[in-house]
Structure 1
Amino acid sequence: MWEVTRSPGWLLHQPTGPLATVLAAAGHPARFEILQLLVIGPKPVADLQTELALASPGQLYHHLKTLASAGLIEQPERGVYRVPPHAIFPILALAAAATDVIERSSTPVEPHDPPG
């Protein structure tokens, strides 16, 4: 269960820089897919590389570094990544909010295939 009480006014007065960092990190299709995989549980880099089918390990590490810098993932042990417990419900809330916008939009949202 997750419960956070924050007023819309308080949310709208938060510094935009840190908010944008988290949203930008999560907003890349490959990185959001990484988050989807890691919300389920920790995974070794080799498993992530296989499941994501990225062209190179360098691409994966770039995405992992961006997500870690934003506080969305952590490395509990060498070569293994996970979503920290405090970030699981916020990530699910981002997915729910995006789904709500898509479903209520009068303009169809086209899938985006990232370059990597």
Structure 2
Amino acid sequence: MTSTSERLAALEEAVARLTARVERAGAPVASAIATPDVPAIPSAETAVETAVETAGETAGGAPHDDPFWLLQEVLRRRPDGALDYAGHLQLPHGPVRWQRSFDPDALVESDWHQGAARLDALSHPVRLRLLQLVLTGTETTAAMAQDDELGTTGQLHHHLRQLVAAGWLTSVSRGRYAVPAQRVVPLLLIVAAATE
């Protein structure tokens, strides 16, 4: 375990390295952009100074009250640009943790048609409700059929087939479905982005 003074020295050294990198790039160290409705993103120097001041208060390296802590970390790790997402949650069948990182330039230039079928599968309210039910523990066709919002048994099976074909659901046994672990966090982020 390192002492507070050792951690402080390491942070001060990191500030010096970051400041030198920013200055070599020709950017002013203390610049920030703000609009009336959006708080300014603290400069790298300010963010690190805050981290140094609170080094003893944030035991275990827990994120502090900086609303842009994730963005600051992405900027630190991938200064040339990145699109990252991650999440962790507890579902009825167990914990899910997922993280992905993309090169934004490559993503912008990629073939977006590849995602059309997967996104189209989410464009129906019944399918979104099915995914929500499965995530919250209703995994069998028989239990899903009890929900009047889902329509007839034939309609239910049609929607389940669409979700399986698009990769949002997998059939784990006869009449039992699950959202694959690698789809849970992306699904919730899509829903969050669509509803914010």
* TM bucket normalised to smaller: 0.7 to 0.9
Aligned residues: 100
**Bigger share in helix:** 1
Q: Does 1:84 align with 2:176?
A: no
| Structure 2 counterpart SS, 1:81 | strand
Report if the CA contact (8 A) 1:39-1:82 is conserved: yes
Deviations 1:18-40 (A, max 9, x none): 21111100121110111111122
> Which structure's CA Rg is the greater one?
2
Structure 2 unaligned blocks of 5 or more? 1-87, 89-97
Counterpart of 2:145? Answer: 49
- Which of 88, 98, 112 is 1:16 aligned to? 112
Structure 1 unaligned blocks of 5 or more? 101-116
Out of 12-21 and 65-74, give the one that drifted further.
12-21
CA distance in 1, matches of 2:187, 2:148: 19
Once superposed, what is the RMSD of the aligned Cα atoms? 1.6
TM-score normalised according to structure 1 size: 0.77
CA distance in 2, matches of 1:54, 1:41: 16
Q: Does 1:4 align with 2:90?
A: no
Deviation at 1:42, TM superposition (A): 5.5
**Change beyond 3 A, Cα 1:53–1:46:** farther
Q: Which has the higher contact order (CA 8 A, sep 6+)?
A: 1
TM-score normalised according to structure 2 size: 0.47
